[in-house]
Structure 1
Amino acid sequence: MKQRDFLIVGGGVVGMAVAYGLARAGQGVTVLDESDDALRASRGNAGLVWVQGKGVGMPRYAELSLESAKAWADFAGELTERTGIELEYEQRGGVDLCLDAEEARSRQADYAELQNASRYMAANFRWEYLDREALTSCLPGLGETIPGGTWSPHDGQCNPLYLLRALYAASRALGVETRPATPVERLEATAGGFRATTPQGQFTAERVILAAGLGARQLASGLGLTAAVRPVRGQVLVTERRPPGGRLPTPQIRQTASGGYLIGDTHEDAGLDKGVTLAMMQSLAEKAVRIYPDLEAARLVRSWGALRVMTPDGHPLYETSTTHPGAYNLNCHSGITLAAFHAEGLAEAIRDDRLEQSFPHFSGARLHVSAS
């Protein structure tokens, strides 16, 4: 059997978006993924295609987020055309709420600083701070104690589960071999490329892409890649289905296409514990009612916890190994927003082996972490 061009370790949104992009360009790809009980970051997102808040302190990250958000409509349309799966994608704009006056001042200062640091963002990033009264037109029924929030037309939402399903379907149709329940125990270089050892056997390819989230802590250093990622727990509450509220999405709460409200936006240092806690569930419920008082009558039907993947500075990591050419490491916590970019520009840069030349700001070298 002809050796594949790429092994991708990790079948979440990041790995599958890159697999789809490579396969669309004619590359032979095998994806090795863990079991359903793995620490999957793809479960811990709210389905937001979001520009606000990205890249404060790293303008290039903000630029990538905005570029990817602009490409999302075509990306979603292409996936739906290939698979028949609707992603429930919409881009009507979004609001990032400010829960107190200090947060409002800080947010506006951050965005002004970001636009001052980037000509692209100054010319293209549209946002506006709106007080509570102004927000009620796009967030009907907003609670009286919310002082305001920042609005941007670039923000939107999708169904992240449908996105992942569509990426799998489109990738398989293009010849990608997907291997679920195949956790990688060891990665190593060979004379002709790379080998992954799993309980189900060994897999080889000319090049390897590590998109394993927290799995990088175990697998990255052996190939001279950055292993410095940490888990950040997020907890989520979902209400029963409610009548359409006509409310724009926010990072704190959004109404899904099925009618339920998804409530989240927590960041906890809890190690590898992906459980839920009563205290946080109570806090989320109280915040939801503060934002939309009418939800006090809503029943809660589901809750879960998940572990996001965070680099030391919180920005994406895209790197090529200097000691084992042909090995790449991808890690970020914005897999939904950046999915269009991952399938396009990032996959193209990896295919042409110019990842760090094209995106030097995201190299692991910036983290000053030894990968020996």
Structure 2
Amino acid sequence: MTKDYEVAVIGGGLLGSAIAWGLGRLGQRVAVLDEGDITKRASRANFALVWVQSKGLGMPAYTGWTVRGSKAWPKLAAELREQTGLDLALQQNGGFHLTLGDAEYEARTNLVARMHNQTGATDYKMEMLPAAEVKKMLPLIGPEVSGGSFCPFDGHVNSLRTFRAFHTGMKQLGVDYLPERPVTAIAREGDEFKLATPQGELRAAKVVLAAGNANQTLAPMVGLSAPMGPTRGQIVVTERTMPFLPHPLTTIRQTDEGTVMIGDSKEDELDDRVQNHPINAVMADRAQRMFPHLSRLNVIRSWSGIRVMPTDGFPIYDQSETHRGAFVACCHSGVTLAANHAFDIARMVKQGALEAELVDAFSARRFNSESGASGSGYY
């Protein structure tokens, strides 16, 4: 491992592979250092949504960032399909957050109003629809559905195929993927970084920390900060069924293969080897109340996964003032923001600096005067 690289990306999950693919696309010599499949990948716990609604309460810049990512997704899907031949099954015809009963509908209506009333908020056309209007778009909703919010920018993809496409594309672009290479130390020496791994040392002119929850440990090595609060989420998958869900929901989506994914949980637990079955029961109960058709289906698998969560819920993008050429990227919306990471973050890393507007909004310096605002969703 003596080859020099222009950029070393630490982390080969959805975030790191998107950035690495973007850098390879720009002609950079890139190495991806990854713990490999033994790591607790957040990619295993994502819900595959390209999601805009509800994003950014307390941070309007995040709303704009997600809208930007949503609009760029068709370009990303087209480029990856042309390069790799893999269809990412992007469906982007709008999504719902459904409510059960009048109290939930009122609470959601108040949230939508707060989102729209934020100073500097991006107009992303989220609106509340009563049950009668929802039923025109989702005919199989149950009688308890009182309505919900709809956003035309929302959609979903096949996230496993997206992950595969990034790795296939990286290889074709000459990016070196180095699995089972956890980084134990980073040091700046002259005009390059020295990255220590159990298999030896690697040198690169720049380094991007995209290692999920491990960024919390890696960031201080290059004068950065990545305050994280990882959480556990659970997902349930049913057997294949007839097409019945033409729009994805925050908590339910029908995949391109016909199965139905159900997921809406957040626990302060870091053990992904077990599941909290009462939580699965609550998720399944709400899902079948929204769509009675689901009560006839068998559950074929379920699992839990550890998700990446900055402590206030919003992304962190930063560059080091003491270790020039070091960058950090943290987010829990790796699917939604994949196009931004592939096209925008990669471009900025190649140029050697993040755009000031991005740093002003998403630098970890905000935690020095944290307001307690919170992000939303795991997409």
Query: What TM-score bracket applies, with the shorter chain setting the length?
Result: over 0.9
Paired with 2:220 and 2:104, the residues of 1 have a C-alpha distance of: 39
Question: TM-score w.r.t. structure 1 length?
Answer: 0.94
Task: String of CA shifts for 1:160-209, please: whole Å, max 9, x gaps.
Answer: 01001111111111111001122222222222311221122211100100
**Distance (Å, rounded) in 1 between the aligned partners of 2:40 and 2:50:** 22
Equivalent residues of 1:140, 1:247 under 8 A apart: no
Aligned to 1:353: 352
Is the Cα contact below 8 Å between 2:88 and 2:157 reproduced in 1? yes
Question: What displacement does 1:325 show?
Answer: 1.3
- 1:242 counterpart = 2:241: yes
Tell me, what secondary structure is at the counterpart of 1:21?
helix
TM-fit CA distance, 1:119: 5.3
What code does the residue aligned with 2:161 have?
Answer: Y
Measured in 2, the distance between the counterparts of 1:346 and 1:231 equals 23
CA-CA distance at 1:135 after TM superposition? 1.0
Secondary structure at the counterpart of residue 136 of structure 1: helix
Q: Give 2:51's aligned amino acid.
A: W
Partner residue, 1:41: 42
State the match for 1:366 in structure 2.
Answer: 366
For 2:338, the aligned partner's letter is: A
Q: How does 1:294-333 map to 2 (within 5 A)?
A: 294-333=293-332
Q: Cα offset for 1:99?
A: 3.2
Q: Determine if contact 1:7/1:207 at 8 Å carries over to the other structure.
A: yes
Equivalent residue runs for 1:204-243 within 5 Å: 204-243=203-242
CA drift of 1:118 comes to 5.2
Q: Identity of paired residues, percent?
A: 40
Whole-Å separation in 1 of the counterparts to 2:207 and 2:235: 34
Structure 1 residue aligned with 2:291: 292
1:20–1:148 distance in 2 versus 1, CA, 3 Å: same
Distance in structure 2 (CA, Å) of the matches to 1:206 and 1:278:
48
SS at the partner of 2:269?
coil
Deviation at 1:356, TM superposition (A): 5.0
Q: Do structure 1's residue 51 and structure 2's residue 86 form an aligned pair?
A: no
Amino acid aligned to 1:262: M
Moved beyond 2 Å, runs of 4+: 98-120, 271-275
Amino acid at match of 1:364: A
8 Å CA contact 2:187–2:195 kept in 1: the answer is yes
Partner residue of 1:117? 118
Counterpart secondary structure, 2:28 = coil
> Contact 2:18–2:341 at 8 Å: present in 1 too?
yes
Moved more, 216-225 or 55-64: 216-225
- Identify the residue that residue 106 of structure 1 maps to in structure 2: 107
Question: Does structure 2 conserve the Cα–Cα contact (< 8 Å) formed by 1:48 and 1:158?
Answer: yes
Render the CA deviation track for 1:279-314: whole Å, top value 9, x for unaligned: 112112212211111111111000011111111210
For residues 31-90 of structure 1, give each alpha carbon's deviation from its aligned partner in whole angstroms, at most 9, with x where no partner exists: 011121211111111110010111111111100101110111111011000000010111
Corresponding residue number in structure 2 for 1:64: 65
Taking the TM superposition and a 5 Å limit, the aligned residue runs for 1:148-187 are: 148-187=147-186
Q: Which runs of 5+ in 2 are unaligned?
A: 370-379
What is the count of residue pairs matched by the alignment? 368
Counterpart-to-counterpart distance in 2, 1:274 and 1:218:
23
Contact conserved, 1:17 with 1:339, CA < 8 A, in 2?
yes
1:368 is paired with a residue whose SS is: helix
The CA deviation at 1:120 is: 6.3
The answer for the alignment partner of 2:375 in structure 1 is none
Listed one character per residue, the Cα deviations across residues 201-251 of structure 1 (whole Å, up to 9, x for unaligned) are: 211100100000011122111211113111111100000010111431001
**Secondary structure at 2:177's aligned position in 1?**
strand
- Quick check: 1:318–1:362 contact (8 Å CA) kept in 2? yes
Query: 1:86-128 CA deviation, whole Å, 9 max, x = no partner?
Result: 1011111110122343443333333333333355623xx1122
| Alpha-carbon distance change, 58 to 151 in structure 1, aligned in 2, over 3 angstroms | same
Alignment match, 1:193: 192
Cα displacement string for residues 315-354 of structure 1 (whole angstroms, at most 9, x for unaligned residues): 0000011221111110000110111111112211222122
**Matched ranges for 1:16-95 at <5 A:** 16-95=17-96
| Deviating more after overlay: 53-62 vs 187-196 | 187-196
Structure 2 match to 1:279: 278
SS of corresponding position for 1:70 = helix
Partner of 2:146: 147
| Partners of 2:245 and 2:253 within 8 A in 1 | no
Distance 1:119 1:225, change over 3 A: closer
Mark the runs of 5 or more structure 1 residues left unpaired by the alignment.
Answer: none
Are 1:216 and 1:227, in contact at CA under 8 Å, matched by a contact in 2?
Answer: yes
Give the Cα separation in 1 of the matches to 2:100 and 2:346.
39
User: Shift in Å at residue 17 of structure 1?
Assistant: 0.9
Matches within 5 A, 1:333-344: 333-344=332-343
Bigger shift: 101-110 or 16-25?
A: 101-110
Say whether the 8 Å CA contact 2:238–2:300 is kept in structure 1: yes
| Cα distance in 1 for residues equivalent to 2:291 and 2:148 | 14
